[in-house]
Structure 1
C-alpha cells in the first residue's frame, strides 16, 4: 500500500480541517498519531487491520495534511473535542481507538469524557503521569520563540541532528532504520516545508498538557473501555518500568504487551507483532 499517494478527504471541525483517510470495511477503528508523526506512522499495520476493520486514519492539526487557523486550539482537551465531533459527525456510535505517544493522551481524554463511545482502547508508548520525556518540555518552552522555527528547519536538514538525542535517535532500537528515508523523511519534510508548517508542529507540541497527563493518575480509573498497552520495551522516552506501574491505575481492565527489540515506535519497528497483538485484542 502506497500510503502517501492515497486520496484523502478533509472534514471541517470548528476552526480546523481534519485530514481523514479510510481503509477497509467493518467496525470502526480510529488511529491517532503522536508527535512529530502523522497518519503515515500506521502504514505498516493498516493492510492487515483493514481486512477486518474500517481503519480511520487521522492527521491532527499542526501535523500531516490537516489545516488550522490562528484561532485554532491545540491543547490536549481541545484536540480530543475535535475528534469527538468528527466521530459524531460521521454518525458512529461505537468505535475503538488505537493511539501512540501524545495521541494516546488525547485518546484517554476521549475515553474518559465519552465512555459510551469507546469500546476498546489501545495505547502505544505514551505519556505517563509525573514523568517528563527528554527534550520535550524544553522544545515546548522555546519552540515558538521568533527565531526558533527557522533554526529547527535548518537543523532538520542536518543528518547529525536527526540522528542525535535532540532529534530521532531514540525512535528505533535498530539504528539502521534512521538511515532509511522511508522512515523519517515523510515526517521531517512537511515540518520544514514552510515556516507556517514548523509553527503548526510546535503549536501541537506546546498543546501537550502535562496537568492533564498528571491527572490521569486518578482519572485512569474512569476509563471503562478494555485497554491494552503495547510498549516497545527498549524505549528511553517512556520507560516500560513506568508503564508497568501505570497499569495499576486502571480498574483491572488494562493489560500490557511488551514488544522486544523495539523502542518508541514499535508499530513501525515490529509491525507484524504489533498488528497481530491489535487484532487479537480487538477480536477477543
Structure 2
C-alpha cells in the first residue's frame, strides 16, 4: 500500500513534543530527549539521525508511521535536545550504548531500525551485537566500514569550532543544510530547524565534540557477519559524502537489497520524502 510523507511541524513544536529519560553510558548518567508516538502496543520502529542533524531530520518521515507503529525518534547524546557539554563520549560506540539503554528503559524489546549517516553506524553496531533484537534494518546513506569521516565533518572537530560564537558557525551550517540538498530553494524551516541546536550558546562546543568523536575504527571493527536482520540500503543515489557504492557493498555482505532514491543527495529524507516513505513502508513488515 502506498504511503506518503507528512506535512512537517516546525522545530519548536517538534521539541515541545519530546520526552526525556536518563541513561547510563560509560559510568555517566546522561539525559536523552526523544519522541515517542503511536500505539504503545505497536511494533517499535526506531529512527536514528546522523551528524550534524538531530531527530528533526525525520520530521516528514517518522510521523507517517505513527498510525500503526510505536515510533521512537531519539536525539543522540550531545545532539538536539539531549544532554550537551563536556565530560562524555559522543562516538557511535557510546551512542550504541545509549540506544541499548533507551530500548531497555522504554521496554521496546525487538525493534526495527531506520538509520541515516552515523546513525547507520550505530544501528549496524547494535544489530551486530544484538542480532536477536532487530528484525528489519534500514540504512540510508550510512557510514560503514571505512567510508568516513568526511572532510567537512573533520574540519568541524577542530578547537577553533568549539571557540566560535554561534553566529560565526552559522554560514557553515547554512552550507551544510542548504547546499546539501538537490533543490536550489530549500525549505527555510528545514534549514532553520537543523541549525537550531547548534545556534545555542553551547552549540559550537557540542558540534565540535560530536565531530571529533567520528572514529572510523568503530565501524571497521563491527562483526558484520553476525547481522541476521532483513536489510534494506535505501540510498540517495547522488550522494558524494556516502556514495552508493558503500550501500551496495553493505547490502551484498548482509544479503540485503538496495533501493535508490533520485534525485537525492545526502539529505535523502528531505530531498525525496514521499519516495522515501513509500519505499520504507513497502519494506517494513
**TM-score range for the pair, normalised by the shorter chain length:** 0.7 to 0.9
Distance in 2 of aligned mates of 1:60 and 1:120 = 21
Distance in 2 of aligned mates of 1:44 and 1:65 = 19
Deviation per residue, 1:16-37 (Å, 9 max, x gap): 1000111212110111111111
Deviation per residue, 1:258-284 (Å, 9 max, x gap): 00111111111111111111111112x
1:202 aligns with 2:208: yes
Equivalent of residue 191 in structure 1, options 190, 198, 206: 198
1:7 aligns with 2:20: no
1:156 aligns with 2:172: no
Kindly report which structure 2 residues correspond to 1:12-31, keeping only aligned pairs within 5 A, or say none: 12-14=22-24, 15-25=29-39, 26-31=42-47
What is the root-mean-square deviation in Å for CA atoms of aligned residues? 1.9
Residue in 2 that maps onto 1:102:
118
Structure 1 residue ranges, 4+ long, deviating more than 6 angstroms after superposition: none
Distance in 2 of aligned mates of 1:17 and 1:68 = 9
1:245 Cα deviation (Å)? 2.6
| Structure 2: runs of 5 or more not aligned | 1-7
1:134 aligns with 2:151: yes
Contact between 2:116 and 2:140, CA under 8 Å: does it hold in 1?
yes
Kindly report which structure 2 residues correspond to 1:254-273, keeping only aligned pairs within 5 A, or say none: 254-273=256-275
1:39 Cα deviation (Å)? 0.8
Kindly report which structure 2 residues correspond to 1:1-284, keeping only aligned pairs within 5 A, or say none: 2=9, 4=11, 5=13, 6-14=16-24, 15-25=29-39, 26-68=42-84, 70-132=86-148, 133-140=150-157, 142=158, 145=159, 147-151=160-164, 153-158=166-171, 161-162=172-173, 164=175, 167-168=176-177, 171-177=180-186, 180-194=187-201, 196-216=202-222, 219-250=223-254, 252=255, 254-283=256-285
Contact between 2:92 and 2:121, CA under 8 Å: does it hold in 1?
yes
Deviation per residue, 1:182-223 (Å, 9 max, x gap): 1111121221211x232122222222220122234xx22211
1:242 Cα deviation (Å)? 3.0
1:231 Cα deviation (Å)? 0.5
Q: How many residues align?
A: 268
Deviation per residue, 1:123-161 (Å, 9 max, x gap): 111113233333223333x1xx1x432437333333xx4
Partner secondary structure for residue 190 of structure 2 = helix
Distance in 2 of aligned mates of 1:129 and 1:149 = 28
Contact between 1:19 and 1:66, CA under 8 Å: does it hold in 2?
yes
